[in-house]
With several copies, the nearest count.
Chain A
Amino acid sequence: MSTLERDPDDGMVQVIDEEGGVVGDVPDLSEDEFVAMYRHMKLARHFDERAVSLQRQGRMGTYPPLSGQEGAQVGSAMALAEDDWMVPSYREHGAAMVRGLPLKETLLYWMGDERGSHIPEDANIFTPAVPIASQIPHATGMAWADKLKHDGETDRAFICYFGDGATSEGDFHEGLNFAGVFDTPNVFFCNNNQWAISVPRERQTASETLAQKAVAYGFEGVQIDGMDPLAVYKATAEALEKAKNPDEGERRPTLIEAVQYRFGAHTTADDPSVYREDDEVEQWKAKDPIPRLERFLRGQGVLDDDRVAEVEESVREEVADAIDAAESTVRPDPESMFEHVFAEQTPEIRRQAEEFAQLRERHGDEAFVEE
């Protein structure tokens, strides 16, 4: 039976428990895929640690850490087919790297360099949206376009990520409602990490689960253990299938609530000790998706100390290289500010750009930037 059709009262979907023991149907992944999943998660975690430290050292601006959420991000991203699309929020660089977004881009973006927002042409990733929930209608529209363009048949699905807080916004409601009405090939993936900055999940809504909100849109919602990468993979794969499998009248969007926890601060500008207890953090750390998958894979004989060390080494290198690459990128050309507003500059923008060039000439860049 598809995990999506479960009775909501059956609780969260789980495949491996906190010790890495098998408690559900293990998805059919090859050994390489299992290792890749593990490596992606390690990469995301290590990247995250380094990014936080770059910010602390003043080498990067505000940054939103993802530690604790690797299982949900990597598990779901790996379930996507090559042609599928991902519509992220600001915290999904872990998922985006699985889909081919170079770490360097992510670093540049958080270093305030506009060029970091350019998604490589061959990666089916939408530019991250900062206004909470506002990307949800986009994802619906993208999926809808695909369906319309391919005459109702489609073999692509569109996963859209957002947080627990996002479910309170009108755009969540409108985006999911359109998806229900027009049967768009969407998977709405809610990273319920228990907190929207300082506001706890229970304060966002009185509904018992976030998954049950799908009832309002006439499609299925499922709550899964978001710190179990295999449960995430499985539920996402099933939802993607349902989104694109074109059996007449059976294509439906799905809402997935992946229950998880953000170990760190909301962003580097946030101090979580003000609003939550260390105890709570510790409890959730026991569910850390990385050791959990590692234990499972060691148990399966897929990982051993050597392979783990290899992965750790290669991950460290990859991140270090990306940081070097980002930091050695020449600063963006200030005049680029006037580009990419329209396909063609308007006369007024051209005039302002010229004025700006003269201004810089007159005063030198020292007048603008404290070095």
Chain B
Amino acid sequence: MSTQDQEQAATQNLTLVQSVRDALATEMELDDEVLVMGEDVGKNGGVFRATEGLYDEFGEDRVIDTPLAESGIIGTAVGMAAMGLKPVPEIQFSGFAYPGFDQIVSHMARLRTRSRSRYTLPMVLRMPYGGGIRAPEHHSESKEAFYAHEAGLKVVIPSTPYDTKGLLISAIRDPDPVVFMEPKLIYRAFRGDVPEGDYEVPIGEAVTRREGSDVSVFTYGAMTRPTMEAAEELAGEGIDAEVVDLRTVSPMDREAIVESFKKTGRACVVHEAPKTGGLAGEITATLQEEALLYQEAPVTRVTGYDVPYPLYALEDYYLPNAARVADGIKEAAEF
């Protein structure tokens, strides 16, 4: 679809979770081989309603309620995909993907390599991730770094309804497996214009959400919001932050990251995953590998703490918020 067509296409005003649903419906309509499977995705429409109505629209052979078994879900999806279907399994919360972790890292990530491309896996593993919704234990983790560290997986984390639909469609069409992590904190936090019909947002490309000249702030997913808030706040204080939303954390858009940094010479990375071993380290290492001579201040990291995600009474203290992000940006700006 050309840009022109897109402008003419009708748009809807959707929440992020509605745009997930819209992407699924759109692709299922266009491609008979796409199917959705998982716990409670059928009649119930998913615990977050991301598959709402699809069961009625596409029937139980394409919107499949499975037994409660993540390894079974991911493992059978691997088998389906190897036979040419395009399954989009849902894991109810990213914290419950681990019983299926072996299928993800030992098979999803590797079947193409292992079979020298005789078998490929056009599948998308969807999972809501992240904190802030006052949920019980294990419902709030942010462990994208696990998947980004496993070669053979692409890892996408959108932050707007428009991108969500476009990226999910790209992921479904991608001939290789994609882990699609959805920021459930902002599933319904705001709406955005989303074209009807199909369009792609390319995997692997970051986007600049706010141009700025003083500090580059790299973030993704739900953390984009407090980051933008902090950037706006700091504008009032004379600090002009550039906010880059990675959108795909693997493969990372290193070019965009480095380019922004070369302009500002200062950076702050924001994610809600724990600090140690989180992707902020990867981004920082990339920056100083590729652009040390531009660097004017330490790259600051604003992240979750190195403790298990707390029960919800304290989660607001755990998650980076605008105040913390602003501090991190300032620290980079004022060094």
Contact = CB atoms under 8 A, between A and B. Distances in A.
Do A and B touch directly, given a CB cutoff of 8 Å in the complex?
yes
Interface of A: 61-62, 90, 109-119, 121, 126-127, 129-134, 136-146, 148-149, 165-166, 168-171, 173-175, 177-178, 181, 196-199, 203-205, 269-270, 274-275, 331-332, 334, 336-338, 340-343, 346-349, 352, 356, 359-360, 362-363, 367-370
Dominant secondary structure of chain A at its interface with chain B = helix
Interface string B133-162: 011111100000000000110100000000
B239 to A, nearest CB: 17
A144 to B, nearest CB: 6
A127 B308 contact: no
A197 B44 contact: yes
A367 B103 contact: no
A199 B69 contact: no
Given A130-B136, A198-B43, A204-B68, A145 B254 contact: no
B232 interface: no
Given A174-B69, A178-B72, A198-B40, 10 more contacts: A61-B312, A90-B136, A112-B134, A134-B102, A138-B82, A168-B69, A178-B69, A270-B47, A340-B113, A349-B305
B315 A112 contact: yes
Nearest to A271: B44
Interface stretch (B1-9, B73-81, B213-221, B263-271): B73-81
B79 A197 contact: no
B281 to A, nearest CB: 13
Q: Top 9 nearest A-B pairs by Cβ distance?
A: A141-B79, A137-B75, A174-B72, A112-B312, A141-B76, A198-B44, A346-B251, A168-B67, A145-B83
B248 to A, nearest CB: 10
A349 B306 contact: yes
Given A117-B116, A119-B115, A130-B138, A175 B75 contact: yes
B278 interface: no
Contacts of B291: none
11 contacts: A62-B136, A114-B116, A130-B136, A131-B106, A171-B103, A174-B69, A177-B67, A178-B66, A275-B43, A352-B306, A367-B321
A348 B135 contact: no
B138 to A, nearest CB: 5
Contacts of B276: 348
Interface residues of B, number: 83
Of A134, A146, A356, chain B has the most CB atoms within 10 Å of the CB of: A134
B90 interface: no
Contacts of B120: 343
B166 interface: no
Contacts of A141: 75-83
Given A113-B311, A141-B80, A337 B305 contact: yes
B313 interface: yes
Contact of A137 (B61, B71, B83, B306): B71
A294 to B, nearest CB: 33
Given A117-B116, A141-B78, A368-B317, A348 B306 contact: yes
Contacts of B307: 337-338, 341, 349, 352
A368 B312 contact: no
Contacts of B35: 148
B197 interface: no
Contact of B45 (A274, A368, A370): A274
Given A90-B136, A174-B75, A332 B115 contact: no
Contacts of B98: 131
Interface of B: 35, 39-40, 42-45, 47, 61, 65-72, 74-85, 95-96, 98-99, 102-103, 106-107, 111-120, 134-139, 151-152, 154, 174-176, 204, 251-252, 254-255, 275-276, 305-308, 310-318, 321, 323-324, 327
Given A114-B314, A340-B113, A131 B76 contact: no
Contact of A341 (B113, B138, B275): B113
Contact of B65 (A130, A140, A198, A356): A198
A112 to B, nearest CB: 3
Contacts of A117: 114-116, 311
A70 B75 CA distance: 29
Given A90-B136, A118-B115, A131-B95, A170 B306 contact: no
Nearest to B66: A178
Given A114-B116, A198-B43, A348-B254, A337 B314 contact: yes
Given A142-B79, A142-B80, A127 B67 contact: no
A369 B316 contact: yes
A138 B311 contact: no
B69 A177 contact: yes
Contacts of B119: 126-127
Given A144-B79, A170-B71, A199 B305 contact: no
B272 to A, nearest CB: 14
Contact of B317 (A111, A168, A341, A356): A356
Contacts of A173: 69
A129 B143 CA distance: 20
A232 B309 CA distance: 37
B85 A148 contact: yes
A286 B253 CA distance: 61
Nearest to A368: B316
A42 B74 CA distance: 39
